[in-house]
């Protein structure tokens, strides 16, 4: 079946097409434009006032719908992916919180047997290890007792899974950190700095050896400090100053003040920033107590009024948001739709090296798209040309 999505506005997002159509066939986009004759043999889904855009790509998400990727089961992976499809996420990196090493390897092994495309859910592009090579002084919601020093043996053990690990977060200042950055980046794994208190010279050395991205900019990152009477840049200022390091932002209206977002945009520009949820298993669930990370080994998090906190209520513990919430927040503080969509889809695809097939609406690209209404409510989501979520239930399963 060939599908055609008609919408009042189509963001490719390099251009805006008014009253256009996107044609999907064999899992890919075959046409984008204003010629409706291209859709004459298709099943047409009409959204006259809708906004059609590339599907969102979340590079940092732990869980949702009551599940966490660190649970390490097909049921958990499926549950998370089915939840986040409702927020417009068509593909993601399954992020694993710091866990016991043996358990982490079990999750890696299990992932090899899990299909990339979850039925009726977002596509899993690979794994993101957020830890265990983090600075204990900046551990945030990670259990400090589960953090590890990146020894050569441990690095080599992880690299046996270089086929599924697409990204890893490392604090380069820990013993062996620079060596870890070099080792993982040499295998084309995206290396991020995070949960770090590194000074400029360490950040720069890590950058020279392969550091390219930043985990949740502003959060769990050290700032400028004094050496004697001399003020020097910390991890945060170093990241903002080095053009070759990109960054992600948790745009939930709580983790980062809008003025700090504006500062990041001024320093980096839209093409070096992306939006992430950092969502945990309580996303889409009622208030209560939930495990952060593995149901077996994770620590407790308290969700109150939809906001997740550590057990002592002193710090945020991930989020309960979806990607559409980040888009809505960025629009509410004044950023143009095209720029926001770059940050939600195009730039994440570029960072993962898949921008030749995702993050853009153009012929030959994967049939991943989202349709929104004027209030940024998700109306339709397709993955590989198949409708996997729709407000109109009659559309579900069309392919």
Active site residues: 278
Q: Tell me the DSSP string of 45-111.
A: EEEEEEEEEEPEEEEEE-EETTEEGGG-SHHHHHHHHHHHGGGTEEEEEEEEES--HHHHHHHHHHH
Residue with tokens 């927040």: 329
Alpha-carbon distances of 110 from 126, 133, 357, 363, rounded to whole Å: 12, 22, 26, 34
Alpha-carbon distances of 50 from 42, 272, 325, 334, 380, rounded to whole Å: 19, 28, 17, 20, 10
- Cβ count within 10 A of residue 247: 22
204 is written with which tokens?
């720069």
Do 53 and 370 meet the contact criterion of CB atoms below 8 Å apart? yes
């Amino acid at each position: 079946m060939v599908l055609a999505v008609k919408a009042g506005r189509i963001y490719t997002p390099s251009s805006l097409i008014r009253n256009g159509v996107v044609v999907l066939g064999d899992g890919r986009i075959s046409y984008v434009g204003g010629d409706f004759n291209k859709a004459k043999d298709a099943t047409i889904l009409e959204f006259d006032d809708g906004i059609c855009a590339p599907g969102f790509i979340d590079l940092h998400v732990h869980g949702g719908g009551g599940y966490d990727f660190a649970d390490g089961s097909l049921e958990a992976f499926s549950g998370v992916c089915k939840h986040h499809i409702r927020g417009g996420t068509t593909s993601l990196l399954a992020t694993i919180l710091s866990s016991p090493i043996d358990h982490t390897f079990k999750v890696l092994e299990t992932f090899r047997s899990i299909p990339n495309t979850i039925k009726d859910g977002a596509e899993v592009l690979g794994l993101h290890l957020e830890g265990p090579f983090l600075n204990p002084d900046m551990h945030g919601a990670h259990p400090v007792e589960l953090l590890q020093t990146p020894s050569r043996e441990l690095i080599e053990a992880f690299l046996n899974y270089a086929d599924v690990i697409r990204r890893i977060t490392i604090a380069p200042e820990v013993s062996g950190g620079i060596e870890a950055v070099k080792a993982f980046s040499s295998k084309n794994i995206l290396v991020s700095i995070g949960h770090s208190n590194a000074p400029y010279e360490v950040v720069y050395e890590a950058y020279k050896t392969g550091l390219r991205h930043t985990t949740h900019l502003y959060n769990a990152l050290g700032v400028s400090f004094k050496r004697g009477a001399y003020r020097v840049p910390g991890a945060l200022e170093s990241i903002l100053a080095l053009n070759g390091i990109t960054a992600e932002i948790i745009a939930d209206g709580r983790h980062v003040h809008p003025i700090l977002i504006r500062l990041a945009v001024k320093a980096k520009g839209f093409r070096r920033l992306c939006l992430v949820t950092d969502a945990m298993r309580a996303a889409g669930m009622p208030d209560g107590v939930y495990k952060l990370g593995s149901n077996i080994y994770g620590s407790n998090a308290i969700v109150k009024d939809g906001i997740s906190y550590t057990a002592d209520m002193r710090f945020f513990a991930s989020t309960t948001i979806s990607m559409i919430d980040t888009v809505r927040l960025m629009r509410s503080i004044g950023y143009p739709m095209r720029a926001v969509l770059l940050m939600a889809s195009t730039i994440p695809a570029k960072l993962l090296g898949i921008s030749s097939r995702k993050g853009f609406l153009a012929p030959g690209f994967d049939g991943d798209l989202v349709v929104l209404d004027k209030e940024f409510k998700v109306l339709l989501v397709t993955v590989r040309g198949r409708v996997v979520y729709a407000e109109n239930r009659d559309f579900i399963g069309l392919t």
